[in-house]
Chains A and B, each alone.
Chain A
């Protein structure tokens, strides 16, 4: 069965985004080692399972990056991998599809539909950004791996990855990587 991997940039206090949702705390220090991690991740991923906001933001960025002659070689490579993945977007509102592969729309996270998705052949399922989706999948016990890229800052306020007031989520640490820029990757299995 395909695995669901939740891969997120987080602060030390477990936040996925700052109140302004700028992601500057990520992009400001992102380096080649992190890029290599991302590249390997997208090699594993056959399907991207995204929330509405992340899907729209990526739709505004990645297709252009793929065709823009000013894009770096690494950006084009990443844009290509993202384009090749099939996509599932979770939203009940009308959405503009992007990319050369199919996008399936799910109205909501439903245990049976996600299990069906996992049973399909293909690469693993990647959940990136998409805080609400990640939380719902976590609550349903459907996440197989968490890859947390822990940044050297305490956010204070922001969107937490693990829902406050949710159930406890016991995990197994299976790997650690120091990217050399202050960011540490924690890999966990459920």
Chain B
């Protein structure tokens, strides 16, 4: 069965972003983009909530052609465009997701069934970036296999909480590492069932 992997940066005090979805205050560090690119290369499907889809779409497409950007950023841009995207949204219409690579929209009521069907098909990893409401819901419904958190070196104090639910079982640590000299600690967990 294919794995559904959630890959997010979180602060030490468990925030997904600053207030109002502001990601610029997150405690980023070296290795963030490299790890995101690694996950993208291992995946053939990117699952996104509506907000993350809109943020990604407004930012990523132009990066590929921007020669002032580091190579890894341009690669992420190309991969984000090319990958099959599934957006969970009740409001987005099919024509609103045209023009940025293969994308289809799934209504929220159909999301669990769609994800279960995707997992049952052969293929590479199914990846979630951002999309905390979506992944918390999938986690609570036993559909997430792994949680990969890049834990930033700082507490925000306020912001959007990353965790809305507890997983059905406990978590099993797969590994923990920090990228050379980076302030980020990547901790990867399997969701036990």
**A residues neighboring B (CB under 8 Å):** 12-14, 148, 150, 152-156, 160-173, 176, 178, 182-184, 186, 188
Contacts and interface: CB of A to CB of B under 8 A. Distances in A.
A172 B153 contact: yes
Nearest to A146: B12
Dominant secondary structure of chain A at its interface with chain B: loop
Contacts, number: 96
14 contacts: A150-B187, A152-B172, A152-B189, A154-B166, A163-B157, A167-B157, A168-B154, A169-B157, A171-B183, A173-B153, A182-B172, A183-B173, A188-B12, A188-B153
A119 to B, nearest CB: 27
A160 B13 contact: yes
A169 B167 contact: no
Contacts of A183: 173
A154 B163 contact: yes
Contact of B158 (A13, A165, A170, A178): A165
Nearest to A188: B153
Interface string B157-191: 11000110111001111011110001111010100
Contacts of B172: 152, 182
A164 B12 contact: no
Contacts of A165: 157-158
B153 A178 contact: no
Nearest to B182: A173
B172 to A, nearest CB: 6
A154 B27 contact: no
A126 to B, nearest CB: 20
A178 B154 contact: no
B25 interface: yes
A166 B12 contact: no
The 8 closest A-B pairs by CB, nearest first: A162-B155, A162-B13, A13-B14, A169-B155, A152-B171, A184-B176, A182-B173, A170-B154
A156 B167 CA distance: 10
Given A12-B14, A162-B13, A184-B176, 4 more contacts: A156-B163, A169-B154, A170-B27, A178-B176
B145 to A, nearest CB: 15
A184 B156 CA distance: 21
B149 interface: yes
Nearest to A183: B173
Contacts of A160: 13-14
B86 interface: no
Among B29, B154, B155, B182, max chain A CB count under 10 A is at: B155
Among A162, A167, A168, A188, max chain B CB count under 10 A is at: A168
A176 B178 contact: yes
A188 B25 CA distance: 19
